[in-house]
A and B are shown apart, each in its own frame.
Chain A
Amino acid sequence: MEFLRNFPCFSLILTMCASIVSSGMNGKWARRLNIVVIVAVGLLSSAALYLTVTTNQCYVYKMGRFPAPWGNEIRFGVLETLMALFFSIIMLLSVLGGRKHLFEELDPFKENLYYVLVNLLMSSLLALIYTNDLFTAYVFVEINTISACGLIMIRESGHTLEAATRYMIMSLIGSGLLLFGLCILYGITGHLLMSNIKEQVALLVATDQYHIPLVVAIVFIVVGLAVKSALFPFHSWLPDSYGYSTASSAAILSSLVSKGYIFLLIKVFYRVIGFEIITESKILNVLFVFGLCGMIFGSLSAIKENDIRRMIAFSSVAQIGYIYMGFGLRTEAGIIASVFHIFSHAASKSMLFISAVGLTDVSGKSKKFLDLTGAGYRNVIAGITFTVGALSMVGVPLFPGFISKILFARAGVSVPLNRMLPTLICLAVSTILNTVYFMKTVLRIYTPVKTDYINIKWKENLCCGIVCIFFIILNIALGMYSEPIVELISRGIAMFA
């Protein structure tokens, strides 16, 4: 039992080692290794989750011989291990679901490089989840940025190169701001370890020292991470990178990469600055307003879009807006709703990207709505999966999107009126807008039409079909058994403080 606390460290090292080894392999073996490693990470994380749930405490694991302020340290409780388990499931399903397209769209002799990037991306996500040290977090933010860029541009078309450049520029602005913030924070507290910074920050606030640098540091860190996770005004890179990259990359980027930064932001709120100090500062109001704007404007852009992949990408902007709106409520219930929305959005959005590709395949690779007419009949399983994803995003009961909307609404009614009204109104408006563009697509793909496109057989697309079924099961499980998951999240948040 005591041995299980080594597992998060093992999963980190395992993914990094796998990416190094696969750079020397050919594509076939790299692919196999990648699947084995992601499954292994899932198993290790579930064992760690079992440990934290049964003992109901969080573990501090020193990385090396020396204890924390001097050496490195990772720290894991219920929420971290749950997140790692969930991320590995989504990663596995995304990589498997877009497999056929990887064969088609990648240069065969670069195939192993794709798995190098995926493995290292996984390790950086795990490090962002587990780390208890801001400098380690920054190092892995760098890895995350570079490998995400590689995932976008590995398809090597004009669109993806431009998208990768845009992503690179915006993401580096975010990294730069984050680094500035960390430097200032280090200058005024003298620590890089999260727990020590929190003590020092509490001391500084109590004695009213270095007030301005502290505020500037908080602003830089929060804005930097918001830029990297595509909060509303900084989302211009998003539609191209999600819309034109290969299917697996789009699923991974939308459901995991931005969520890793958001999780780091939650850690900064709770473990670095302290939630009371964050709520007293005005930065959450800014996030609240931008989150609300994102919910509305992301959906409006999605309605105008005539390209199914870009439409789903714009829907991501709206969903990221929900998450930041939850932060802006400044209550613990809001944060819990946001964390649950991270789960539900990751599960549904990766499913939508994978199934949308299934639909475009039977429409002559066209992503335009006119060509997609009747695609739900030609590729039955992708049609069903897309419908499930759309229902979940709209917020129909039985699916996770409904639970997160309920949680947001519940969190919204318990705050003062000046926050309650915008929250509830925007939730309602955004739900209607979501319905407009998702139901438009679902009706479109189930409109019977006579075309020359051939129906796809079940056996031809076995891998993608099975992945779609697993996605549906995952979503319905998240939607129907949300109670224990919400309970685990609130326990995890309680362990944070």
Chain B
Amino acid sequence: MSRLKNDAEYKKTRAFRFFRWMKGEEDPYLDNVEIQPGVPFQDSRTVNEILLEEQETLEKVYNTASNRWIWRFRRLYNVLSIVFSLALAAVMLYMVAKLPTAGTVDRPVNNEVSKVYIENGIQDTGAVNIVTGMILNYRAFDTFGETCVLFIATTCVMVLLMKEEEKIREDQTLNDRRFEPKNDVILQKVAFVLVPIVFIFGIYVILNGHLSPGGGFSGGAMIGAGMILYVSAYGFDKMQKFFNEHTYKVVKVAALCTYCAVITYYLFMGANDFDNHISLGVPGMIFSSGIILWLNIFVGIEVACTMYAFYALFRRGGL
């Protein structure tokens, strides 16, 4: 027999809230989904006056009526840029017509280079996916450089936008939830379902980089997108419980340093023709293809960190 709950306990149940919502006694979105008023505009002038003043300044500076030279220069500039662009386009179109025809067998690019990649790829690298074998084994140094491009891009965005954590917390205007709904239930529920799937799919793409299309770059982008979805649904406070600036640094530096160590070992042993101690395994198995699997993981971590860091830095100036 079901026992009667007392009033206080009953009010906590879902049934109570459901019936209350059905009867229309309470709106669940009230106080949960609403926009806080912004700070009143601190200038004594109205927005229109300011805009008008800017317009007047611009007109005064570029007053073409009294300064004919500016007018002439502008006309000349526009005409010349159009002429130049058209000329460049014409040259390039003419050049494209003279290039080797696409799709024919006797093009210069169908030479011994791609032939060896296709024919010896699996024996040399152990990767079924030839593209991954090419970028992470044959031309591993280029890919390391490419990963460093991502790394330096994040560093530059940090130089430009990063603020100290305390300052972000102090500065109310930077509070990213100020002008947004506090908790978007729809987004949260969708994210609750989608984020794990996105993560798992991203990990799958990374780990299968040497077997199927995909790899570190695409899988990492998926994981990064999952993190962005999570953070836009649940906010930075929840995200920082498991991924803050410290974790970001540790994960990124550890991944890139291991990457660097593996690459150094590979380049040194390969260049001096020493024996390869990393076995290639059986092509088609998950633990095969030597360093490629590991490099894919490191690249994936770096790409995911980069994606998330871009989003977080542009949104609140910190991770």
Q: Do A and B bind each other?
A: yes
How many residues of chain A have a CB within 8 Å of chain B? 54
Q: Is A13 part of the binding interface, using a Cβ–Cβ cutoff of 8 Å?
A: yes
Q: Does A150 contact B (CB under 8 A)?
A: yes
Chain B residues closer than 8 Å to A6, beta-carbon distance: 268, 271-272
B152 touches A70 (CB 8 A): no
Within 8 Å CB of B98, what residues of A? 210-213
B31 at the interface (CB under 8 A from A): no
Residues of A contacting B266 in the complex (Cβ-Cβ under 8 angstroms): 64-65
A64 to B266, CA, bound (A): 6
CB distance from A162 to the nearest CB of B (A): 13
Taking the complex as formed, is A21 at the interface, i.e. its CB lies under 8 A from any CB of chain B?
yes
- Tell me whether B263 is interfacial, beta carbon within 8 Å: yes
A323 contacts B by Cβ under 8 Å: no
Whether A136 and B145, one on each chain, are in contact in the complex, defined by CB atoms closer than 8 angstroms, is yes
A17 an interface residue at 8 Å Cβ cutoff?
yes
A448 to B121, CA, bound (A): 74
B107, B108, B250, B257: most-surrounded residue (chain A CB, <10 A): B108
Q: How far is the CA of A63 from the CA of B107 in the complex (A)?
A: 28
Of A40-48, A109-117, A459-467, the stretch lying at the interface with chain B is: A109-117
The interface bits of chain B over 155-194 (1 if a CB of A lies within 8 angstroms of the residue's CB, else 0) are: 1101110101000000000000000000000000000000
| Distance in angstroms between the alpha carbons of A28 and B126 in the assembled complex | 44
B260 at the interface (CB under 8 A from A): yes
Q: Chain B's nearest CB lies how many Å from the CB of A30?
A: 12
Identify which of B63-71, B133-141, B217-225 touches chain A: B133-141
Given contacts A149-B156, A190-B108, contact A64 B149 (CB under 8 A): no
Interface size on B, residues (CB 8 A): 55
Residues A150 and B109 in contact, CB atoms below 8 Å apart: no
B155 touches A63 (CB 8 A): no
Q: Which residues of A contact B268 (CB under 8 A)?
A: 6, 9
| Chain B residues near A150 (CB-CB < 8 A) | 152, 155-156, 159
Chain B residues lying within 8 Å of A66, measured Cβ to Cβ, are 124, 137-138, 270
- CB of A222 to closest CB in B, whole Å: 15
Specify which chain A residues have a CB less than 8 angstroms from the CB of B95 in the assembled complex. Answer: 184, 212-213, 216
How many whole Å from A150's CB to the nearest CB in chain B?
4
State the Cβ distance, A65 to closest chain B Cβ, in Å.
4
User: How far, in whole Å, are A113 and B151 apart by their CA atoms in the complex?
Assistant: 11
Interface residues of A in 203-234 (CB under 8 A from B): 210-213, 216
CA distance A147 to B98 in the complex (A): 37
In this complex, the member of B99, B158, B162, B267 whose beta carbon has the largest number of chain A beta carbons within 10 angstroms is B267
Q: Which residue of chain A has the shortest Cβ distance to B153 in the bound complex? A: A146
Main secondary structure of the interface of B (DSSP, over half): helix
Set of chain B residues within 8 Å of A213, measured between Cβ atoms: 95, 98-99
Spot the interface stretch: B39-47, B48-56, B111-119, B205-213: B111-119
Task: Name the CB-closest residue of A to B109.
Answer: A190
B138 touches which of A13, A16, A70 (Cβ 8 Å): A70
Chain B residues within 8 Å of A200, by CB: 108
- Complex CA gap A135/B271 in Å reads 20
Contact, CB under 8 Å: A72 / B142: yes
A159 at the interface (CB under 8 A from B): no
Contact with A along B69-103 (1 / 0, CB 8 A): 00000000000000000000001101100111000
A154 at the interface (CB under 8 A from B): yes
Judge whether B110 and A190 touch: CB under 8 Å: yes
Cβ 8 A contact of A136, one of B141, B267, B269: B141
A191 within 8 A of B: yes
Closest beta carbon of chain B to A187's beta carbon, Å: 6
Residues of chain B within 8 A (CB-CB) of A69 are 112-113
A62 within 8 A of B: yes
Q: How many A-B residue pairs have CB under 8 A?
A: 160
- Is B263 a contact of A184 with CB atoms below 8 Å? no
**B11 sits at the interface (CB 8 A):** no
**Complex alpha-carbon distance, A200 and B253, angstroms:** 42
Q: Is the CB of A16 within 8 A of B159?
A: no
The stretch of A137-145, A258-266, A268-276, A330-338 in contact with B is: A137-145
Interface residue A468 (Cβ < 8 Å from any Cβ of B): no
Q: For A19, list chain B residues within 8 Å (CB).
A: 148, 151-152
Kindly state whether residue B199 has any CB partner on chain A within 8 Å.
no
Name the distance in Å between A96's Cβ and chain B's nearest Cβ. 21
Contact of B158 among A17, A24, A113, A127 (CB under 8 A): A113
Nearest to A164 among chain B residues (CB) is: B160
Residue A23 lies at the interface, judged by CB distance under 8 Å to chain B: yes
Are B99 and A154 closer than 8 Å at their CB atoms?
A: no
Say yes or no for B144: interface residue by CB 8 A criterion: yes
Determine whether B279 belongs to the interface, using a CB cutoff of 8 Å to chain A: no
Which of A21, A63, A117, A211 meets B152, CB within 8 Å? A117
Known: A153-B160, A187-B108. A64 touches B267 (CB 8 A): yes
Nearest CB on B from A78, distance (A) = 21
**Pairwise interchain contact A110-B271, C-beta atoms closer than 8 A:** no
Check if A188 is an interface residue, CB within 8 A of chain B: yes
Q: Are A20 and B151 touching (Cβ within 8 A)?
A: yes
Complex Cα spacing A80 to B179, Å: 56
By the criterion CB–CB under 8 Å, are B149 and A139 in contact?
A: yes
Alpha-carbon distance between A120 and B149 when the two chains are bound, in angstroms: 9
Interface residue from A9, A113, A140 paired with B271 (Cβ < 8 Å): A9
Q: How far is the CB of A393 from chain B (nearest CB, A)?
A: 32
Inter-chain contact A13/B264, CB cutoff 8 Å? yes
A65 interface neighbour in B113, B162, B250, B270, Cβ under 8 Å: B270
Q: In the docked arrangement, what's the CA distance between A72 and B271, Å?
A: 10
Contact indicator per residue, chain A 407-437, by CB within 8 Å of chain B (1) or not (0): 0000000000000000000000000000000
For the complex of A and B, the 8 pairs showing the least CB-CB separation, nearest first, are A65-B270, A190-B108, A24-B253, A139-B145, A150-B156, A190-B109, A63-B141, A72-B141
10 contacts between A and B (CB under 8 A): A17-B264, A63-B140, A64-B140, A66-B137, A66-B270, A69-B112, A139-B142, A146-B156, A150-B155, A187-B108
Where the two chains meet, the residues of A that have a C-beta atom closer than 8 Å to any C-beta of B are: 6, 9, 13, 16-17, 19-21, 23-24, 61-66, 69-72, 109-110, 113, 116-117, 120, 123, 127, 133, 135-136, 139-140, 142-143, 146-147, 149-150, 153-154, 184, 186-191, 200, 210-213, 216
Chain B residues packing against A (C-beta within 8 Å): 91-92, 94-95, 98-100, 107-113, 116-117, 124, 137-142, 144-146, 148-149, 151-153, 155-156, 158-160, 162, 164, 249-250, 252-253, 256-257, 260, 263-264, 266-272, 276
| New A-B pairs, 18, CB < 8 Å, besides A6-B268, A66-B270, A71-B270 | A6-B272, A9-B271, A13-B263, A20-B253, A21-B253, A23-B249, A70-B117, A72-B141, A109-B164, A110-B158, A133-B142, A135-B142, A146-B153, A147-B152, A149-B156, A153-B159, A187-B100, A210-B99
